[in-house]
Amino acid sequence: MSLEFSADAQKKIAALCERYPTKQPVVMAALHLAQKEHGHLSDDALKLVARTLDLPYAHVYGVATFYTMYRREPAGKTTIRMCTNISCMLRNGYEVLAAFEQKLGIKKGDSTTDGRFHLVEEECIAACANAPCAVVGTKYYLDITTEQVGKIIDELKTSPHPESEVV
Amino acid sequence: MATADRNTKLVSARFGNEGAKSLATYESMGGYAVLRKALAMRPEDIATEVKTSNLRGRGGAGFATGVKWGFVPKDAKTVHLVCNADESEPGTCKDRELIYWDPHLLIEGMIISAHALRAQKNYIYIRGEMMREYAVLQKAVEEAYARGYLGKNILGTGITCDLTVHRGAGAYICGEETALLNSLEGLRGQPRLKPPFPAVKGAFGNPTIVNNVETLMNVPFIVDKGGAWFAGLGPGRSGGTRMLCVSGHVNKPGVFELPMTITFRQLIDEVCGGVWKGRKVKAVIPGGVSMPPLDNSDELDVPIEFDALQTDERIKPVMVRPGQQFDLGGGRMLRTMAGSGGVVVMDDQTDIPKATWRIMKFFAHESCGQCTPCREGTGWLEKVSRRVAEGNGKPDDLDLLASIAHGIAGNTICALGDAAAWPMLGFLTKFRADFEAKIKRRAA
């Protein structure tokens, strides 16, 4: 099925094309937009980006598969990026990750069956002074304890902070 | 000339002030006044002040900013300035805070620097995961355009300065400046061979200067008060203050702007309230996980300054194996480096082999796959260090780890390979007994 961008996304892409000497750099933003509007980067979504920017499909595929935030598969609406890198590990980051897994009933990398949550073991998110920490869209959770995990999930159910909110 | 003390705050002066990220408040506090002064100066005079200031790159390498700027060919027609806001070196959390609290100071620093470099089309490459900071920065850029600080004929001077925020999408390697440039051009973020260096051939084939967030935020102070004043704030060849991020086992972790004369021991005990739970220090990562660690000896009495960490003889050199020093090239020994300012403190109950494994896991995950020694080697380091950490190590594993690390270092296009090899060798050098104990326990 052939996909399209919304009028708003088309406008954003056209404006960004004015900012660079060629259209190619806009592939990064166009992939973020395609993921926002179509949920994940299916083959058809990659074709849409390629067609919009006059780029070879293989180029778009190459970019989409290099960066970890681009998803080739569907995922839950709210992405919880829990850091377990050194500073978080030293302050129980792995235990907090395990608490998220238990609370959500999934393993890291997976999404809940109700389509609400996607749990990612993230590398350092640059909030080390408040380890262990997680980032959910524009919201940071700092100095997390395992006891707080249930409350965090409840809060995100009413205020989901999808990553697409800033795209 | 007054040196900086612990109350000297330049780039972090507005931390905690939620309103300061709006243009109106920033202007009411004197913001963009230095820009007006700078636009009346000749570009080469600004560059001279920056050279005099001894400002050194705050991203990790500590290279003199003024010298870097000087590498742009004099007859260059199109030059770009790119801000590296891809902060992702584990243990480092200053640029994210700097952008959040004071986005206009970064923008002002960029416009001034762009004028000094005669750069018209400029970019901020911000890490994809920093969604809150992207929103803050994008809003600030739009405010600056609306006010005439950005765009064509800024403040009626005839100077053009465009600024575009370019979002990454998850890749540590894009903090390496040539990988960043490839990502900016819409390519996979794989580092480029150097030379040519970006200052000669960077973004879109044009001379390009890539500077860190904190580096660029210091430029307005240099233009305002003079390069000599800024140089005087710091010791030796390191001008200004330094943002230090302290994490791990201390009572009061945090992000602090401090003079570069402070030692690790003072930082831990006097600024961060000491080691938690009444314990002692075991190890300290001095500036992001790429840097070889320090142990609890007089190594911690060395000031957190670029040159001291490379040359102070109190810091023991990194060894390939007992009796053989690691050679940085030309017989130069490796002690450690100031890196990104990310100080990670580990207490005396820390499982050092496990901590080392976590660092190796990171580099194995983040290797871009371009160079065989790094792609394969970081994976092997992760596997072997994991089995050692889990108590399943073989008697030869420590030699194997050292041999793999030594085989990566210096043999790759970019520094990610070294960034994995250095801490591996550094932890083995200073905490060998901790690794041996794990292996002996299995044998027993």
Contacts of A125 in chain B (CB under 8 A): 129
For residue A149, pLDDT over 90 is answered with yes
pLDDT tens sequence across A78-137:
999 999 999 999 999 999 999 999 999 999 999 999 999 999 999 999 999 999 999 999
- Domain of B413, CATH number, reads 3.10.20.600
- For residue B133, what is the nearest residue in chain A, using CA coordinates? A138
Interface of A with B in 70-89 (CB under 8 A): 70, 81, 84-87, 89
- The mean predicted confidence, pLDDT, of chain A is 97
Q: What pLDDT is recorded for position B424?
A: 98
Encoded tokens for B344: 């990670």
For residue B79, pLDDT over 80 is answered with yes
Average pLDDT (B270-288) is 98
Question: Would you tell me which CATH number, out of the four given (1.10.10, 3.40.50, 1.10.287, 1.10.1060), belongs to the domain A7-64?
Answer: 1.10.10
pLDDT tens sequence across B97-153:
999 999 999 999 999 999 999 999 999 999 999 999 999 999 999 999 999 999 999
Q: What is the CATH number of domain A78-166?
A: 3.40.30.10
A166 interfacial to chain B (CB closer than 8 Å):
yes
Q: Is residue B7 part of a domain?
A: no
The single-letter DSSP state of residue B68 is H
Beta carbons of A87 and B254 less than 8 Å apart? no
**Taking the CB of residue A96, how many other CB atoms lie within 10 A of it?**
26
Residues B119 and B220 in one domain: yes
Structurally, chain B folds into a number of domains equal to: 2
Q: Which of A24, A90, A125 sits opposite B186 (nearest CB)?
A: A24
- For residue B340, what is the nearest residue in chain A, using CA coordinates? A126
For residue B195, cis peptide bond before it (omega within 30 degrees of 0): yes
Contacts of A131 in chain B (CB under 8 A): 247-248, 253
Q: Is residue B12 part of a domain?
A: no
- Domain of B224, CATH number, reads 3.40.50.11540
Q: Which of A32, A84, A130 sits opposite B169 (nearest CB)?
A: A32
Residues B134 and B163 in one domain: yes
Contacts of B101 in chain A (CB under 8 A): none
Strands B241-248 and B254-259: antiparallel
For residue A35, pLDDT over 80 is answered with yes
Among residues of chain B, what percentage have pLDDT more than 70? 99
Residues B300 and B332 in one domain: yes
Q: Which of B87, B170, B186 sits opposite A68 (nearest CB)?
A: B170
C-beta separation of B133 from B126 below 8 A: yes
Residue B366's domain spans which residues? 241-442
A20 interfacial to chain B (CB closer than 8 Å):
yes
C-beta separation of A162 from A78 below 8 A: yes
Q: State the nearest Cα–Cα gap between A69 and chain B, in angstroms.
A: 5
Residues B279 and B422 in one domain: yes
Residues B181 and B248 in one domain: no
User: How far is C-alpha B83 from the geometric centre of its chain's CA atoms?
Assistant: 12
C-beta separation of B344 from A86 below 8 A: yes
Distance of alpha carbon B322 from alpha carbon B318, whole angstroms:
10
Beta bridge partners, A78, equal A117
pLDDT tens sequence across B353-384:
999 999 999 999 999 999 999 999 999 999 99
pLDDT tens sequence across B306-321:
999 999 999 999 999 9
Domain segments of chain A as ranges: 7-64, 78-166
Q: What pLDDT is recorded for position B443?
A: 66
Q: Could you tell me which residues come within 8 angstroms of residue B315 by beta carbon, excluding any fewer than 6 positions away?
A: B294, B299, B302, B309, B335, B336
Q: Which of A19, A32, A139 sits opposite B167 (nearest CB)?
A: A32
Mutate to test the interface with A, among B139, B167, B188, B247 (most CBs of A within 10 A): B247
Contacts of B352 in chain A (CB under 8 A): none
Residues B101 and B46 in one domain: yes
Contacts of B152 in chain A (CB under 8 A): none
Average pLDDT (B197-212) is 98
Residues B25 and B118 in one domain: yes
Do the domains A7-64 and A78-166 sit in the same CATH topology, yes or no?
no
ipTM of this predicted complex? 0.98
Q: What pLDDT is recorded for position B2?
A: 86
Mutate to test the interface with B, among A23, A52, A86 (most CBs of B within 10 A): A86
Q: Is residue B371 part of a domain?
A: yes
Beta carbons of A91 and B344 less than 8 Å apart? no
For residue A51, pLDDT over 80 is answered with yes
Q: Which of A28, A70, A129 sits opposite B254 (nearest CB)?
A: A129
Contacts of B368 in chain A (CB under 8 A): 66
- Sheet with B254-259, strands from edge to edge, namely B254-259, B241-248, B342-347, B281-285, B294-295
Interface of A with B in 92-121 (CB under 8 A): none
Distance of alpha carbon B78 from alpha carbon B83, whole angstroms:
17
Q: Of B173, B207, B233, which one is at a domain's C-terminal end?
A: B233
Q: Is residue B3 part of a domain?
A: no
Contacts of B245 in chain A (CB under 8 A): 128-129
Q: What pLDDT is recorded for position B441?
A: 77
Q: Is residue B4 part of a domain?
A: no
Residues B212 and B69 in one domain: yes
Q: Of B199, B233, B267, which one is at a domain's C-terminal end?
A: B233
Beta carbons of B88 and A124 less than 8 Å apart? yes
A7 interfacial to chain B (CB closer than 8 Å):
no
Average pLDDT (B74-93) is 97
Beta carbons of A128 and B168 less than 8 Å apart? no
Q: Is residue B2 part of a domain?
A: no
Residues B101 and B229 in one domain: yes
- For residue B149, report the phi and psi dihedrals to the nearest 5 degrees: -80, -20
For residue B249, pLDDT over 90 is answered with yes
DSSP3 helix / strand / coil % (chain B, rounded to 5):
45, 15, 40
Q: Of B190, B215, B233, which one is at a domain's C-terminal end?
A: B233
Average pLDDT (B230-244) is 98
Residues B259 and B203 in one domain: no
A17 interfacial to chain B (CB closer than 8 Å):
no
Dihedral (Cα; B21, B26, B29, B35), 10-degree rounding: 140
Q: Is residue B438 part of a domain?
A: yes
Q: What is the pLDDT confidence band of residue B440, given thresholds at 50, 70 and 90?
A: confident
Q: How many CB pairs under 8 A join A and B?
A: 150
For residue B279, pLDDT over 90 is answered with yes
Distance of alpha carbon A105 from alpha carbon B350, whole angstroms:
30
A57 interfacial to chain B (CB closer than 8 Å):
no
Residues B255 and B207 in one domain: no
What is the sign of the dihedral through the CA atoms of A74, A80, A84 and A89? negative
Q: Closest Cα partner for A127 from A110, A114, A115, A139?
A: A139
Beta carbons of B204 and A20 less than 8 Å apart? yes
Q: What is the pLDDT confidence band of residue B239, given thresholds at 50, 70 and 90?
A: very high
A61 interfacial to chain B (CB closer than 8 Å):
no
Mutate to test the interface with A, among B12, B58, B84, B93 (most CBs of A within 10 A): B93
Residues B325 and B347 in one domain: yes
The single-letter DSSP state of residue A2 is -
- For residue B172, what is the nearest residue in chain A, using CA coordinates? A123
Contacts of A163 in chain B (CB under 8 A): 131
Q: What pLDDT is recorded for position A160?
A: 96
